[in-house]
Structure 1
Amino acid sequence: MEYIVIGAVILLVLFFIAQYNRLIRLNITVDEAFAQIEVQLKRRADLIPNLVETVKGYAAHEQSTFDAVVTARAKATSATTIADVAAADGALTNALKGLLAVAEAYPDLKASANFLSLQEELSTTENKVSFARQFYNDTVRSLNTAVKTIPTSFFAGFAKVDARDFYEVENPTDRNVPGVKF
């Protein structure tokens, strides 16, 4: 009888440790996923000055478009919370769409090897940002599911792990393509 009680206590302790460790691992994975988003956004922010300068050489009269990109980039590089990073990311994406729309109006620019290289690098980076966002949201879903379902929900407070916000870039009503007028 004594061995059964000891065995049951050991099983409960092992179960507790397993649930606690699972929550901690999920929490770390979410932090890592957000860090990957920031890495890709930094990469994109580093490409933007070169892209702006390249386009500026061909379309000097598009100053408001350049200003919008530079302002959005500044906000994106200074954001810290998930909501602020997501909002700044969305604004920067829209500003870049406007910049690339301006570039479409200049055939010489579109044929420039430097511009094409920067555009390809930006496109690759956008794909990486998109993947990083999706990975983050997948890990947040896993963490939130664990935090809100039994039995791990009993251990969330003890592990000091809370549900996290999803990474949402834009408001669904703001999905219009920016207009460019000459």
Structure 2
Amino acid sequence: MDALIIVIVVVVLLVVILGIAAMSMYNGFIRSRNLIQESWRQIDVELNRRYELIPNLVETVRAYASHERNTLEDVTRLRNQAQSVASHESGLPTQQRSQAEEQLSGAVRNLIVSVEAYPDLKSNVNFLELQKQLAETEDRIAAGRRFYNANVRVYNTKVDSVPSNIIAGMAKFEKATYFEVNDPAVRRAPDVNFGEIAYRGEQPPASAPSAPQVGTGQSAPGGLPDPNQQWAPQQAPQQEWSQQPQPGGYVPPSTGQQGPGQQPPSQGGYTPPQSR
């Protein structure tokens, strides 16, 4: 009888522990899902703000750059398409929304680049202000996208992991969609060639003759001096003893050729006086 009671108590304890663990996992899914929804709402606010700025930007560019009609039409069409997809969505974004916003971002970048050929437009106050506001909006969208994707990664990991995937399947928690940017123009890092920067304007032309060499007349490949070659100054006065520093540290002055009766300095740097 006592053994049966012990078994019942152990079973009840296990059920209670498993229930608490399951409840904790479920609440963790709820918190993660709410955090994802909150981070997406921040992005959605900035996307709607971009919808409002784009028509003003298009009209400003149209007044100065009527030749960019195709680019302006593309921006307007993609803006309306993205806004239409957003109006039919509820909650988290779908892959279709991500693609629409990605195409709109690329069209806006192309429009900003195309106005480089219009100096009057580049100096327009309204255009500069719209460009500044769009740049700030894009920065906030990028920051919000990183925060949102980080929350999605944590949530999707719980959905796939064991044993939380059991609770996810029972409660029908589905994986969330990343808000990604797959445009190569956005992902590509800027091309920086340090070789061109370092040697720009410093390389001599290929046909330029190399400087004349002194010594044996030999040079290394490419017209550069051979580091192993012994060099001698041109038209140097011939001396019977070298002007290299002596062990004592004394360097005698240059006197040209040694005259009769002169003696080279002795070891130690001392020169004895000449006897008459």
Shorter chain as denominator, the TM-score bin is 0.7 to 0.9
Q: Which residue of 16, 21, 27 corresponds with 1:15?
A: 21
Q: Counterpart in 2 of 1:64?
A: 70
Deviates more, 1:167-176 or 1:96-105: 167-176
Tell me the equivalent position of 1:40. Answer: 46
Q: Return the offset for 1:6.
A: 4.2
Unmatched 5+ residue regions in structure 1?
A: 177-182
Contact 1:147/1:161 (<8 A) preserved: yes
- Which protein, 1 or 2, shows the higher relative CO under an 8 Å CA cutoff with sep ≥ 6? 1
Residues 84/120 of structure 1: CA separation in 2 closer, same or farther (3 Å cut): same
Whole-angstrom CA distance in 2 between matches of 1:33 and 1:132: 7
More displaced 10-residue stretch of structure 1: 102-111 or 28-37: 28-37
Pairing partner for 1:130 from 142, 156, 162: 142
Question: For residues 143 and 88 of structure 1, do their structure 2 counterparts lie closer, same or farther at Cα, with a shift above 3 Å needed?
Answer: same
- Secondary structure (helix, strand or coil) at the match of 1:62 reads helix
Shift of 1:69: 0.5
Which structure would you say has the larger Rg?
A: 2
What is aligned with 1:179? none
Alpha-carbon deviation of 1:4?
5.1
Q: Please point out which of 150, 161, 167 is paired with 2:162.
A: 150
Runs of 4+ in 1 over 6 A off after TM superposition: 173-176
2:33 to 17, 27, 37: 27
What secondary structure sits across from 1:44 in the alignment? helix
1:83 alignment counterpart: 95
Matched, 1:74 2:80: yes
CA contact (8 A) 1:23 1:159 kept: no
Instruction: Give yes or no for the alignment of 1:164 onto 2:176.
Output: yes
For structure 1, which segment, 128-137 or 114-123, has the greater mean C-alpha deviation from structure 2 after superposition? 128-137
Partner secondary structure for residue 70 of structure 1: helix
Identify if the C-alpha distance between structure 1 residues 153 and 175 changes in structure 2 by more than 3 Å, giving closer, same or farther: closer
Shift of 1:102: 2.0
CA contact (8 A) 1:86 1:170 kept: no
> What TM-score comes out, normalization by structure 1 length?
0.86
State the number of aligned residues.
Answer: 176
Hey, what's the Cα distance between the residues in 2 that align with 1:94 and 1:172?
A: 10
The one of 84, 98, 116 aligned to 2:110 = 98
Asked if structure 2 preserves the Cα contact closer than 8 Å seen for 1:68 and 1:95, the reply is: yes
Instruction: Give how far 1:147 is off.
Output: 0.5
User: Could you say if the C-alpha distance between residues 172 and 44 of structure 1 is closer, same or farther in structure 2, counting changes exceeding 3 Å?
Assistant: same
Report the residue type matching 1:160 in the other structure.
K
- Indicate if the aligned counterparts of 1:69 and 1:96 stay in contact, CA closer than 8 A: yes
The alignment partner of 1:161 has SS state of coil
The superposition leaves residues 82-113 of structure 1 with CA deviations (integer Å, 9 ceiling, x where unpaired) of 21111111111111112111221112221222
User: What is the RMSD of the two structures over their aligned residues, measured on CA atoms?
Assistant: 2.2
* Closer, same or farther: CA 32–174 of 1 in aligned 2, 3 Å: closer
Kindly provide the amino acid, as one letter, of the partner of residue 27 in structure 1: R
Alpha-carbon separation, structure 2, partners of 1:135 and 1:174: 18
Q: Which amino acid aligns with 2:133?
A: E
Equivalent residue number for residue 50 of structure 1: 56
Q: Which consecutive residues of structure 2, in runs of 5 or more, have no partner in the other structure? A: 1-5, 189-276
